[in-house]
Structure 1
Amino acid sequence: MSNLRPASLALASVALAGALALAPLIAQAQAQAFPDKPIHIIVPLPPGGSNDVLARIVGQEMSKTFGQPVIVENKPGAAGNIATDYIAKSAPDGYTIAIAPNQTVAVNPVLYPKLPFDASRDLTGVTMMGRVPLVLVVPPQVKANSVADVIAMAKASPDKLTFATAGSGSPQHMSAEIFKSMTGVRMTQVPYRGSVPALVDVLAGTVDMMFCPINSALPYIRSGKLRALGITGEKRLPLLPDVPTIAETLPGYESDIWIGMIAPAKTPAPVIAKLNTELRRALALPEVKDKLAEQGIFTETSTPEAFTATMAADQKRWAEVIKNANIRPE
């Protein structure tokens, strides 16, 4: 039995009610003061790639608006899991946020059986930021001029055609697995530790094909060292207007790299809203859109709720692909 007297219970109830009533006001005050110190953007991959470029370009714009330094920190390793674990365990105050490609927050959570974080519980979305389409490419030695040719060749010689990936669970790998599942063909994966060595061997003709990020493939397509057969996204690209989408041959096919911004769960909603507003403003600037388009990154923004929902929906989608293809982490 409680030792509190009725009067004490009443006072405690009033105090609790007062605290609950003040909580939204405190959160709002925090958002109004935010930011009053540097913001850190964590990038789960090495410098120089699409994720890093995106972080640095938007970071410069954020710094101008907020009047605070925005520091980009690269924390590569373990297929992005090191950085994602770091952000999941960071203070939920808006000062530490992270670039989130779909591999780290949609594929990895359903690919790796034991992670030190729970993406659904420990992370929250800030906004979608952009998409990087992939393109199916072959070297000149491969006598395929279309997606239909690849399907026909794979059906005629099961397991003979090889495709390079940046490792199990990478966007290159998952794009190929969707292609295989939708066509019923059998092809052989040749995994590498990263896109660069994978692309090198495709250029050398050691591997037959690759679903390659457009920014990496474009110089070689233009020089004739690679032949582009199909775009993985829903629409043809202005950069390659004559290259059809894979969906034009294989209706319903779609696979690309999307990149967003995440924060630790329990970051105050007004702070998330302020970050969302600023990121969407920066990504709408014509000069920012042009810089990113040159890198093959096509801007796309969303509400925090919509991006969180996208992460959850893609986890379900990739879980099915991983299960059906019996994919295991390396």
Structure 2
Amino acid sequence: MPFNRRTGVLALCLSAAFASPLSWAQDFPIKPIRIVVPLPPGGSNDVLARLLGQKMSESFGQPVIVENKPGAAGNIASEFMARAEPDGYYIAVAPNQTVAVNPVLYPKLPFDVNRDLTGITMMGRVPMVLVVSPARVQATTVAELIALAKANPEKLSYASAGSGSPQHMAAEVFKSMTGTRITQIPYKGSAPALVDVLGGTVDVMFCPLNSALPHIRSGKLRALGTTGTKRVDLLPNVPTIAETIPNYESDIWIGMVAPAKTPPAIINKLNAELRRSLALPDVQGKLAEQGIYAETSTPAEFTRLIATDQKRWAEVIKAANIKPE
């Protein structure tokens, strides 16, 4: 076939069509990457996105833009990602509430996390701490709080950031494992919930470590236990709740996801870059200051964690008859 403009264009189109995903990944990225955050600026998810976005931009030589898309307990951001182009240029911060709790709490979401999203990597954990208002609660240990709650069923109250929030789920697991009845007072977010515990309006809260720490140090809150499997470096004298209630665990974890059909080679390239960034001492130091502990995984491991936690929280939601707000 003689070469002319028409056949030349055809050849270029065919070449692009049959280019291997590996070659796409080698060129990736050739334009700005956007990180979607399902919550407002300022929290742990936003801190992770902005810190890692800066490191990714330096490494890739392309801008990395953070876009906050809060609302509907993170479902707005998840739906956006489910419909985003699967080319690696839109990725999203994924806390366990949005990808592990919401899919089993909300019965009719317009997307399917397991079908429409895929894991890139785990990024970190944020321990929570069980705190009480010293003005309202005399308990100084987890065991004393359990005894107080059992002696006064439904008289103690706990503040949550709303139905399905990490604070809510941590409290429901606590109640289930101890046979206690403590009344939930839901708020629209963690900040107003914490304000009322500090003000002595509510008795108890499972609070993210970074938010509670200044008030624990000032004496405005009393810390009884942390929610992870090991003690927190910033509160070495505070035991884990599991030291009193074996196998108790209810940390906040945060990962990164992409649209489901994103080429594996691009997922792997993003995974490698995020893991490299999270291993940097300066990144780990800045995160630790915020009560965030860096932790990474393979894409497959993170996708499995999402599925495993969905099963766990489905059981808790069913047993406690939790309904979305």
Instruction: Report the TM-score range of the alignment, normalised by the length of the smaller protein.
Output: over 0.9
Superposition pairs for residues 96-115 of structure 1, below 5 Å? 96-115=90-109
Matched, 1:86 2:80: yes
Q: 2:297 aligns with which of 297, 302, 319?
A: 302
CA distance in 2, matches of 1:154, 1:229: 14
SS in structure 1 opposite 2:20?
helix
2:221, 2:53 → 1: CA distance? 34
Deviation at 1:188? 0.2
Q: What is aligned with 2:53?
A: 59
Letter in 2 for 1:60: Q
**Residue 150 of structure 2 corresponds to residue 155 of structure 1:** yes
SS of residue paired to 2:206: strand
Equivalent-residue separation in structure 1 for 2:94 and 2:267 (angstroms):
15
Q: Which residues in structure 2 correspond to 1:203-214 (within 5 Å)?
A: 203-214=198-209
Report the equivalent of 1:9. none
Deviation digits for residues 141-170 of structure 1 (CA, Å, limit 9, x no counterpart):
210100001100111011111000000100
Shift of residue 139 of structure 1? 1.4
2:173 maps to 178
Cα distance in 1 for residues equivalent to 2:319 and 2:255: 27
Matched residue, 1:95? 89
1:133 matched to 2:127:
yes
Q: Hey, what's the Cα distance between the residues in 2 that align with 1:157 and 1:64?
A: 56
* Corresponding residue pairs, total: 309
For 1:325, the aligned partner's letter is: A
Q: Which amino acid aligns with 1:255?
A: S
Alignment correspondent of 2:8: none
- Say which SS state the counterpart of residue 53 (structure 1) adopts: helix
Corresponding residue number in structure 2 for 1:272: 267
Partner of 1:13: none
Q: Which of 21, 29, 50 is the matching residue for 1:27?
A: 21
Letter in 1 for 2:110: P
- Cα distance in 1, alignment partners of residues 243 and 187 from structure 2: 29
Unaligned runs of 5+ in 2: 1-13
Using the alignment, how far apart are the partners of 1:140 and 1:317 within structure 2?
33
Q: Distance in 1 between matches of 2:249 and 2:232?
A: 14
- 1:117 equivalenced with 2:101 (yes/no): no
Are residue 201 (structure 1) and residue 196 (structure 2) matched? yes
Query: What per-residue deviation string (whole Å, max 9, x for no partner) do you get for residues 235-272 of structure 1?
Result: 00110000000000000000010000000001000000
1:16 maps to which residue?
none
SS state at 2:36 partner: strand
Return the offset for 1:171. Answer: 0.2
What do the CA deviations read for 1:192-217 (whole angstroms, capped 9, x no partner)? 00001000000011000100000000
Q: Which of 35, 38, 54 is residue 44 of structure 1 equivalent to? A: 38
Tell me, in whole angstroms, the C-alpha distance in 1 between the residues paired with 2:293 and 2:118: 22
TM-score (norm 1): 0.93
The alignment-based identity, stated in percent, is: 73
Q: Which amino acid aligns with 1:32?
A: Q
Structure 1 residue 316 corresponds to structure 2 residue 295: no
**Aligned residues: CA RMSD:** 0.9
- CA shift digits 1:110-153 (9 cap, x unpaired): 00011111011000000000000000001112101000011001
Q: Give the one of 224, 227, 240 matched to 2:222.
A: 227
Match of 1:254 among 239, 244, 249: 249
Q: Which runs of 4+ in 1 moved over 2 A?
A: none
TM superposition shift of 1:185: 0.7
Q: CA deviation digits over 1:17-51, x for unaligned, max 9?
A: xx9xx96x521111011000000000000000000
1:77 aligns with 2:71: yes
Structure 1 Cα separation of the partners of residues 324 and 144 of structure 2: 31
**Partner amino acid, structure 2, of 1:187:** I
TM-score (norm 2): 0.94
| Number of the residue aligned with 2:140 | 145
Q: C-alpha distance in 1, partners of 2:207/2:107?
A: 27
Counterpart amino acid of residue 86 in structure 2: P
| In structure 1, distance between residues paired with 2:251 and 2:79 | 24
One-letter amino acid of the structure 2 residue matched with residue 112 of structure 1: Y
Measure, in 1, the Cα distance between the counterparts of 2:197 and 2:111.
Answer: 35
Q: What amino acid sits opposite 2:209 in the alignment?
A: I
What aligned pairs does 1:11-22 form with structure 2 within 5 A after superposition?
none
